[in-house]
Amino acid sequence: MNKNNYISLANKAANLQINELKKVKKVFNKSFVKAVDCILNCKGKIIFAGVGKSGLIARKISATFSSVGIPSFFCDPTQASHGDMGQIEKKDLLLIFSNSGNTYELTNMLKYANRFGIKIIGVASKSESLLLKASDIKILLPKVKESDPTGMVPTSSTSIALLLGDCLATTIMYKKKFSKEKFKLYHSGGKIGESLLLSKDIMIKGKKLPIIDYKKNLDGALKIINQKKLGIVVVLKKNYIEGLVTDGDLRRKRKVFSKKTNLNEFMTKKPFVVNENMSADKALNIMSEKKITSLLIVSDNDYKKKKKMKLKGIIHIHFLLKSGIK
Partners of 323 in beta bridges: none
Residue 225 makes CB contacts below 8 A (sequence gap 6+) with 210, 231, 232, 233, 245, 247, 250
Taking the C-alpha atoms of residue 223 and residue 192, their distance in angstroms, rounded to an integer, is 40
Query: What is the SS3 string spanning 211-248?
Result: EEECCCEHHHHHHHHHHHCCCEEEEEECCEEEEEEEHH
pLDDT tens readout for residues 42-65 = 999 999 999 999 999 999 999 999
Q: Where in the chain is the domain with CATH 3.10.580.10?
A: 199-322
CATH topology assigned to domain 199-322: CBS-domain (3.10.580)
Give the pLDDT mean for 96-115.
93
* Mean pLDDT calculated for residue range 141-147: 95
Q: In angstroms, what CA-CA distances link 256 with 97, 173, 203, 225, 265? A: 77, 60, 33, 19, 12
pLDDT tens digits, one per residue of 207-262: 889 888 888 888 888 888 888 888 888 988 888 888 888 888 777 766 666 667 77
Residues with Cβ within 8 Å of residue 85, at least 6 apart in sequence:
108, 109, 112
| CATH number corresponding to 5-178 | 3.40.50.10490
Whether residue 14 has pLDDT greater than 90: yes
**278-319 residue pLDDT tens:** 887 788 888 888 888 888 888 888 888 777 888 998 888 887
* Residues 294 and 211 sit within 8 Å (Cβ to Cβ): no
172 pLDDT more than 60: yes
Does the pLDDT at position 187 exceed 80? no
Q: Where in the chain are all domains bearing CATH 3.40.50.10490?
A: 5-178
pLDDT at 168 over 80: yes
